[in-house]
Each structure stands twice: as C-alpha cells, then as structure tokens.
Chain A
Amino acid sequence: MAADFLLQGETISRLLVGLSVTLRISLVSVALSLPMGVLMGVLFTRRNPLLRAVLRVYLEFIRVMPQLVLLFIVFFGSATMLGLNFSGEVASVIVFTAWGSAELGDLVRAAIESIPRSQYDSAYALALSRRQAFLRVILPQAVRRLLPPSVNLVTRIVKTTSLCMLIGVVEVVRVGQQIIDFYRFDYPYGALWTYAALGLLYFAICWPLSLLSRWLEKRSS
C-alpha cells in the first residue's frame, strides 16, 4: 500500500525529532510568556495611563501583525538592521514569546477585570491590605478563569510554530516536507499520507490540551 514508506528507514524517528523541535519552541515560548504575560496583565489593570498606553500599543502591534511577518522581522530584520544573527529557533522563540505574552497579558487583564468590584470592597472592609486582597482574593479567582483560555493559547502556539519552517527551522512540518521530497518518485501520493501523519501528531499534542481546557472550564463554573 502507498503509505508503507512511513514505516521505512528513519521516517518515524525523523518526524519525532521534528516534533521535538516544535515542542521545544512551543514550551520555551510558553514558559517565558507565562511570567511576562502575568506581569503585563497585572500592570495593565493599574490605573497608570502611560503604562496602559505603552502596553496597549505593544499588544495591538503584536496582535495585528501576522506571526509570519513577525518571524521575518525578527529573523531577517535583526540581522540586517541590528547585525544580530539569531538562529531560526531563537528568532522563533522571541516571536512566540512576544506573541504569547501579549495574548496572555490580555487574558490576565480580562480575568482580573472580570472579578467584580464588590470582591475588593468586601476584602478591604475586612481590613485586608491591597496586596493581601489582590493575592489572596482576586488573583486566585482570576487564575481559575484564566486557565481554560490559557491552555487554548498553548495549542494555538503549538500549531502556529509550523510557520517557523519559513525561516529555516526544521520542525515537524518541515521534516514532513523533506520526507515527501525524498519519496516523491516512488510514492506519488506520499504527500497526502505524510500530511495525514503530521495531522495525527498535532492531534496527539493538541487534543489532550483541548480536553484539559474543557475540563478546567467545567470545573471553574
């Protein structure tokens, strides 16, 4: 049958190496986005108008730009403009951290702002300080509301890292293309099977995350 090449030679192990690159970029970006996003979100809820304006510009810029354009800007732009030669993977991590922290920052802001004013009032009326009220009352509630959309953000990041191959990163989709090229003449329908295999790999990563998100959502309501 036409798909047996997937089991030949090093095809599977190569795909898994590619997947590890995908996961490495995703996980490092998520790990860096987490503290930055939380910090940004918390700062966003401060009443400081200058801080808000700066964060708003950053957030909107990152959000309206296609991730591909950001990748090109960081990968090629920093080399030509700043003389910084990032590897494709480092450039990818920079872009996905910038994107992830902006998105997460907005989620954190929304989660904090969704906690009713009266929760602050009742905490203050019990003589809690601002810090105590925020850390013990507001933040735990915000985190619960934050978890489901944050897990969704992780799946979006995992999926979007496929763009990294366009700046030369050999992640899982790029490996798939190499496999397709390698078997092009012997297996005319190899592309279809390879992409099916790629789809399966993404599914194996993202579906559990999606289930987790749904479970968290159900639990928090």
Chain B
Amino acid sequence: MSASATNHKTALEGEKSLSPVLELRGLVKRFDDHTVLDGIDLSVRAGEVVVLVGPSGCGKSTLLRCAIGLEKIDGGSILLDGQEVSGRERSQELRSRMGMVFQSYDLFPNMSVLDNVMLAPVLVRGADKAELRQRALALLDRVGLADKADARPATLSGGQQQRVAICRALAMDPEVLLLDEVTAALDPEMVHEVLQVVLELADEGLTMLIVTHEMAFARAIADRVVMLDGGGVVEEGDETFFDAPVTDRAKAFLKTFEFHRDR
C-alpha cells in the first residue's frame, strides 16, 4: 500500500482535535476467500463530512455496512466516541447510534410516509407519539415534503422517496449518518434535490460518511476525501485530491470521470 504524505497530515490533525465520533481500526472483511477490506483505518470527527470514493467493487458500501453493524467483521474494531463497540449488543448499539440511507431508499411500502419516519423512534426508543409526530413533520417539512406525510411511498417520485428516507434516518438522531450512493438509483433531474438536502445537513454540522459517484457533489461537500481500492485506503486528502491526486491509482480513477475527444 502506498502511504501518502496526506495520510500523515490528517493523522496529526486528528490528534489535535477532538477524538473522532466514528473510528475504524484495522477493519477486515472477507466474503469467503475474498478479502474486501484489508485492515482499513478511518476516522470521522464530529461535524466532519468524509467522502469515500473508489472504483466499483472496492468495498465502499461494504465498509459502510460493516461500520453500522449490518455485516459481521473479520478483524479490527469499531469505535464510537473513542469507545470500542463490542460484545453481544455490538450490532444493536452501532445501529441505534448511527443512521444509514441506501441507494434504493427502501421506504416501507406498507405504511405512510409519516409512519416510515416515526416507526423506529417509537419501536426502538419508545418515543412519545404526539411529540414525535411534531418532530417527524418538522423533518419532512425541512425536506419540503410535509404535504406528503399521509401519502404512501409508492406514490412519491424517487427523489421524494429518498428525501423521506433521509428524514427517517434523521428521526433516530444518529451521531453519524452513512449515505450509500443515495443518488445512484435516481433520474438525473432528481439527483439535485436530494444532494441539496445533504448539503444543508452538512452546513448544519451533521457528521456524515458518504459514498458517492457524483464527483462534483463530492468536491462540494467533502471536508475530507478517502479513496479505497484493493481493500485498502489508497489516498486521503481535502479537495486538492480532485485536482492534484498523488497516487497513480487515484489519478487513474479520477481520469475515468473525464472525457476528451481528439480532433
């Protein structure tokens, strides 16, 4: 693995600031014989937006799934607020302290938009329904969908559904929000409305770890970019990553987003 200069820099910064909200140490994940993540070190500090990029199949989504406890890990540790999360309640704790939004939004079709947002706080936290209702409506209002509260998810556009999915995750007050290619399944004209919501969340200081293929969005929102490939972190940096990547693999990866015609 190519340890880059930028790697060193962020490590120093990390020591100076508060301890990270989410930290992965030496994370290993295998599927059968295939090692997808081979000792990943990654940390996300409070209020920071970290964007994960990398070629398809490099394990970005797997990393998010491991972080939130949807996948068992084969090595390493996951820390929240500097405390390792382990033991029998590991997955439950990770899942209740973090939120995740998926590519295919996956609202629950058997309940209204409002009930989608309210379900987890009621079931998991035993939240007061009347109070929660106000909060859920406020969340929906923030993404411009208060009027859709009683609608069934199937009647909403993809972009609207994804915004509801974001509200649903936020209703659990996650310490970190994980976004897994939240616009990959959307028609181009809906991408913007969803990313706009995410940008606003970043401005409000929500801690996020984002996997995306939208490079313009990544550049706009990222406090820090981490590129994964071959099971490890290839390169890490701020927005200079996009203009002046250090490693050959990052250069090659970013080239795939450029188009030239020789004439």
Chain B: residues with CB nearer than 8 A to chain A? Answer: 65, 68, 70, 91-92, 95-96, 99-100, 102, 104, 106-110, 119-120, 123-124, 165, 168-169, 172
A141-B106 Cα distance, complex, nearest whole Å:
13
Contacts A124-B70, A126-B120, A127-B124 hold; do A118 and B109 have CB atoms under 8 A apart?
no
Least CB distance from B96 to A in Å reads: 4
B120 A128 Cβ-Cβ under 8 A: yes
Most buried by B among A122, A124, A132, A136: A122
| B92 to chain A: closest residue by CB | A127
Contact of A119 among B70, B108, B124, B172 (CB under 8 A): B108
Which residues of A are interface residues toward B (Cβ below 8 A)?
A: 116, 118-119, 121-129, 132, 136-137, 140-141, 144
Residues of A within 8 A of B169 (CB): 125-126
Contact B102 A121 (CB under 8 A): yes
Given A118-B102, A118-B104, A121-B70, A127 and B95 touching (CB < 8 A)? Answer: yes
Given contacts A123-B108, A127-B92, A141-B110, 11 further A-B contacts (CB under 8 A): A118-B104, A118-B106, A119-B108, A125-B95, A126-B119, A126-B172, A127-B120, A127-B172, A129-B92, A132-B123, A141-B108
B106-A119 in contact (CB<8A): yes
A66 to chain B, nearest CB (A): 38
Output the residue of B91, B108, B172 with the most chain A CB within 10 A: B108
The tally of CB-CB contacts under 8 A between chains A and B is: 58
In the assembled complex, the Cα of A21 lies from the Cα of B249 at a distance in Å of: 77
The complex places the Cα of A118 from the Cα of B106 at a distance, in Å, of 7
Report yes or no: B109 in contact with A141, Cβ–Cβ below 8 A: yes
Contact partners of B92 in chain A: CB under 8 A: 127, 129
Contacts of B106 in A (CB 8 A): 116, 118-119, 121-122
Residues in A whose Cβ lies below 8 Å from that of B102: 118, 121-122, 125
Q: Please name the residue on chain B nearest to A137 by beta carbon.
A: B108
Bound-complex Cα distance A128 to B100 (A) = 13
Indicate which residue in A121, A125, A137 contacts B99 across the interface (CB closer than 8 Å): A125
Nearest neighbor of A121 in chain B, beta-carbon distance: B70
Picked from B65, B95, B109, B110, the residue with its CB within 8 Å of the CB of A126 is: B95
- Residues from chain B with a CB closer than 8 A to the CB of A127 are 92, 95-96, 120, 124, 172
Residue of B nearest to A141 (CB): B110
Chain B minimum-CB-distance residue to A129: B92
Bound Cα distance from A144 to B108, whole angstroms? 13
A126 and B123 CA atoms in complex are apart in Å by: 10
Whole-angstrom distance between the alpha carbons of A119 and B165 in the complex? 12
Nearest CB on B from A131, distance (A)? 10
